[in-house]
Amino acid sequence: MQDEGRRHQEEEQLHALVKAFEAMMKAGESKFFDHDELEWLIEHFLEKGSVRKAQQVHHHAIGLYPESISLQLREAQILTSTGKHVQAIPRLKNLLSFEPHNEEIHLTLANIYSQMHEHKLALQHFNAVLTFADAELKRDVYIDVALEHENLGEWKQAIRILHDALDADPSNETALYELAFCYDKEGRIQEAADFYLRYLDDHPYSFAAWYNLGNAHQRLGKLKEAVDAYDFAIAIEGAFAPAYHQKAEALTAMEKYGDALEVHRESLEVDAPQPSTLCYMGECLEHMGSLEEAAEYYHQCLELDPHFLEAHVGLGVLEDLKGNQEGALEHMATALLQNPHHEDTLLMMATVLKKMGRHEEADTCLVQLLERNPKHVEAWEERVDNMQALEAHEQALILLDNAFEHVPPTSTVLGYKQFVSLFALRMDGEALRLLDHLLLADFDGMNRLLETYPGLLDDPRVASRYTRMKP
């Protein structure tokens, strides 16, 4: 209550001060103002983005206090606010020659250099502040230093500084989030998870730590552990919407679509409906077979954002599931208008075109996809499958040779497709040797292949191998 009263009193004083200065300017008079009052006014107008008024105050102030270093600093900050960094820098450096330990001068220079993408120079001034700043200021500057290292791609240095920030202030949530980002950039996800577990031993009520632990577990594929961590984050901070969204994502990855849908509904109680949430709810319902309800959520998503690509894709998938391939293509085409290179849309469009017997158009989509991402295994699978549907097995084998230059040769799906084309071209010896290898590596893959080519078992050589290897 005392803090609120103090803030209210300060706001009233500032309001009165602004009125007094503006009245003086309107009357064309020159009145005396205290030095601190003028600084306060300049800071106020700069925070509001009223640079012209800040300039007016500074012009009046420097006439009253021409030797004031702090007013010269304000002038440099005004120049910075108008994008005149080149003029501001020499003035600030000159001020440093008089006050080499002035924190605000160093910080102003550091921020200017950061805006100019001169991150190493920014680091020099931020680090200078760390050598003489008090503990409270250091807590903020640690984050500034870490961010400059991040801008330089120096993730290890950023991680070290962020740990210093947490040593100085264990409740620093920004440091907790930035650490997650840096560990991710380094690919040290397990190390991140281990860190958050240790941190939670000492700070078990940190929802930020639980949330980031959940993200680390999710990246590691430990989905149940991720859901548990998100649950702790939600229990501590029930209004933290990202924890609901990530929990729902983990449940979706676990194919627990009903549970994921319920979590999305819970998120709508703490956060305004987001297009992404409505789209994900549509996806859950799609997986649950509730196609009409799924369509309703996709349409609600598009009401909020008509350009939300995934909702157009979702509607296309629904039309395809209903057997309306022409309708599916219309939605896919709309999605590609938003992003002509969207991989999932190109893949789905190719699949629909193949169903319609439009193999050449399907191949065009897949070529476009693979030109941008030659490691896309599903696109290679679809392209080979497209050739095999045309009985173009020689072309299929050439495609497979190209595919294995970009994707692991251990891909058993592509391996089984290679077997099909070899067998179709009566290259029996090579085909059967490959089949022996594939049955050992992935027997279930043969069961999936037989769904498409059940006649393979009519050949006694294939049937005997299949029976012998059958669990």
CA 94: distance to chain centroid? 42
Digit-coded pLDDT (tens) for 211-236: 999 999 999 999 999 999 999 999 99
Q: Lowest mean pLDDT of 53-67, 79-93, 431-445, 448-462, name the range.
A: 53-67
Identity at 252, one-letter amino acid code: T
Q: Residue 188 above 90 pLDDT?
A: yes
HEC secondary structure over the chain: CHHHHHHHHHHHHHHHHHHHHHHHHHHCCCCCCCHHHHHHHHHHHHHHCCHHHHHHHHHHHHHHCCCCHHHHHHHHHHHHHCCCHHHHHHHHHHHHHHCCCCHHHHHHHHHHHHHCCCHHHHHHHHHHHHHHCCHHHHHHHHHHHHHHHHHCCCHHHHHHHHHHHHHHCCCCHHHHHHHHHHHHHHCCHHHHHHHHHHHHHHCCCCHHHHHHHHHHHHHCCCHHHHHHHHHHHHHHCCCCHHHHHHHHHHHHHCCCHHHHHHHHHHHCCCCCCCHHHHHHHHHHHHHCCCHHHHHHHHHHHHHHCCCCHHHHHHHHHHHHHCCCHHHHHHHHHHHHHHCCCCHHHHHHHHHHHHHCCCHHHHHHHHHHHHHHCCCCHHHHHHHHHHHHHCCCHHHHHHHHHHHCCCCCCCCHHHHHHHHHHHHHCCCHHHHHHHHHHHHHHCHHHHHHHHHHCHHHHHCHHHHHHHHHHCC
Q: What is the pLDDT of residue 74?
A: 76
Q: Residue 113 above 80 pLDDT?
A: yes
Average pLDDT of the chain is: 90
Q: What is the pLDDT of residue 61?
A: 66
Identity at 165, one-letter amino acid code: A
**Cα–Cα distance between 267 and 282 in angstroms, integer?**
15
Q: What is the pLDDT of residue 6?
A: 62
Q: pLDDT tier at 14 (50, 70, 90 boundaries)? A: confident
Q: What is the pLDDT of residue 38?
A: 72
Which of 271, 275, 264, 263 has the alpha carbon at shortest distance from 310?
Answer: 275
Q: What share of the chain in percent tops pLDDT 70?
A: 92
Q: What is the pLDDT of residue 420?
A: 95
Q: What is the pLDDT of residue 99?
A: 83
392 contacts 385 by C-beta, under 8 angstroms: no
Digit-coded pLDDT (tens) for 167-187: 999 999 999 999 999 999 999
Give Cβ neighbours of residue 423 (< 8 Å, ≥ 6 apart). 431, 456, 462
Give Cβ neighbours of residue 181 (< 8 Å, ≥ 6 apart). 150
Digit-coded pLDDT (tens) for 363-402: 999 999 999 999 999 999 999 999 999 999 999 999 999 9
Q: What is the mean pLDDT of residues 445-464?
A: 94
Digit-coded pLDDT (tens) for 135-156: 888 999 999 999 999 999 999 9
Q: pLDDT tier at 1 (50, 70, 90 boundaries)? A: very low
Query: Higher confidence at residue 465 or residue 38?
Result: 465
Question: What is the pTM (predicted TM-score) of this model?
Answer: 0.80
Q: Residue 5 above 60 pLDDT?
A: no
Structure tokens at 157: 């240095």
Domains of the chain listed by start with CATH number: 378-471 (1.25.40)
Q: What is the pLDDT of residue 263?
A: 98
